Homo-oligomer: A and B are copies of this chain.
Amino acid sequence: MPDRADLTRRLADLVVGYGANVQPGQIVGVTTYTGKEELTREIARAAYEHGARWVDVSIHDPLVKRQRLLHAEESTLDYIPPWMIDRLEWLSNERAARISLTGPAIPDALDGIDPGRAGRDLLPYLPTTGEVVNRGTTNWCVAPAPSSGWAALVFPELEPEAALDRLWELIAHVCRLDEDDPAEAWRERAHTLESVAARLTARRFDAIRLRGPGTDVTVGLFPSSTWNAADFTTVDGLRHFPNIPSEEIFTTPDPTRVDGHVTATRPLELYGAVMDGIRVGFERGVATRIDAERGADTLRSLVAKDEGASRLGELALVDGEGRIGPLGTVFYETLLDENAASHVALGSAYDIGVEDESDRGRINTSGVHVDFMIGSPETDVDGVTPDGDAVPLLRGGVWQI
């Protein structure tokens, strides 16, 4: 039986000390939710122990959001209070650390809500988040916070306490808390992923092709598209690891050169709504067809948010050596599920994924960023050279280069 209090403390230490890499004197912005109180408090404790000047905790309650979506007038649902945007700018200007806790703590919070309405309120996600990330002014980390509600979603067959114990066991495993020195284990894994990323970048592929059950898509790259692991450095030279866990390498694709169709290999929980069996068709970069067994309207509503929301902002490859894929568990949480399988994201792109200024002006921009998983061990991934030759990259989850 896991010692949940101890794991909570150690996860907080990892997120603050390794992930966000909080420095003495820093302000630390924390975005969290009702149901994640214990980890939030340990994050605050760890941040102050690292010398934080102020830990700015913003707590969001999905059931307050539910009341908005149930009762507020339709025309008000896009409203974002200016202080939220100002707060993010302030964190950027202050060169603050930023920590976000994920995991659906109240999974049924938006049950029965009209998906068209739900898709119009993405708070607390802010349209300027991608822009702030690209500035490289903040050292940030997103990490999972286990909770009873989330445990019941992942393990509906277990009793509540057993489900929460089981979720903590898995989170501890995939966050490498079961290693003697989790931060060191993560540095090693990041090193491996950076090596693959460097080799991929050096090949300067023109496109990447993914083929698997229900998926055959070619994603064009820029001449200077660069592969990276989630191992970032701020403009002030502060190294940080923006996802715990992270098993992916990713790049920024050309948003005008995506053709084919993809089928999601995992369900997607987003802003309280679950989407399953997603199928998307792309023509010259644009998502022209969107279907799903569940939640298609929510996804369509998201894609209609702005022009860039219907184009790709990210392509990520995940090998079979990560700890999430082999579990076979669906976590209903992008941070975990996206690191189980290769994926694409609609919406905003990372500057870091292209090297040249000329390409940087052509990357996708949007107020949303929605990852969905299209890979599995059955997915063959090829690099396509400028001459049109296909070079095997992943077969059965194993790197071929």
Question: Using a CB–CB distance below 8 Å, which chain A residues touch chain B?
Answer: 27, 34, 37, 40-41, 44-45, 48-49, 51-57, 59-61, 63-64, 66-68, 70-73, 76, 79, 81-83, 86-87, 90
Contact = CB atoms under 8 A, between A and B. Distances in A.
A41 B64 contact: yes
The quantity of this chain's copies bound in the complex is: 2
Contacts of A67: 41, 44-45, 48, 55
A132 B34 CA distance: 29
Give the top 4 A-B pairs by smallest Cβ distance, nearest first: A48-B71, A59-B59, A44-B67, A83-B87
Contacts of A81: 27, 54, 56, 87, 90
Given A40-B61, A41-B61, A56-B81, 5 more contacts: A37-B63, A44-B64, A48-B72, A81-B90, A83-B90
B90 A72 contact: no
A82 B29 CA distance: 13
Contacts of A55: 64, 67-68
Contacts of A82: 90
B57 A76 contact: no
A36 to B, nearest CB: 10
A288 to B, nearest CB: 34
Nearest to A66: B41
Contact of A68 (B37, B40, B44, B60): B44
| Interface residues of A, dominant DSSP | helix
A63 B57 CA distance: 11
Nearest to A24: B73
Nearest to A52: B72
Contacts of A49: 71
Nearest to A33: B59
A52 B64 CA distance: 13
Q: Report which residue of A37, A48, A64 has the largest number of chain B beta carbons within 10 angstroms of its beta carbon.
A: A64
B48 A70 contact: yes
A54 B65 CA distance: 10
14 contacts: A37-B63, A48-B68, A48-B70, A53-B73, A53-B76, A53-B79, A54-B72, A55-B64, A57-B61, A59-B59, A81-B90, A82-B90, A83-B86, A83-B90
B54 A79 contact: yes
Contact of A34 (B37, B52, B66, B71): B37
A90 B79 CA distance: 15
Nearest to A54: B79
Contacts of A64: 40-41, 44, 55, 57
Contacts of A56: 81, 83
A76 to B, nearest CB: 5
Nearest to A34: B37
Contact of A61 (B37, B54, B73): B37
Contacts of A51: 73
A73 B54 CA distance: 10
Which one of A37, A44, A90 has the highest number of Cβ atoms from chain B below 10 Å of its Cβ? A44
In the complex, which of the residues A37, A68, A83 has the most CB atoms of chain B within 10 Å of its own CB atom? A83
A64 B79 CA distance: 29
Nearest to A62: B41
A22 to B, nearest CB: 12
A72 B53 CA distance: 7
Contacts of A60: 59
A49 B41 CA distance: 34
A101 to B, nearest CB: 13
Contacts of A53: 72-73, 76, 79
A229 to B, nearest CB: 32
A161 B167 CA distance: 30
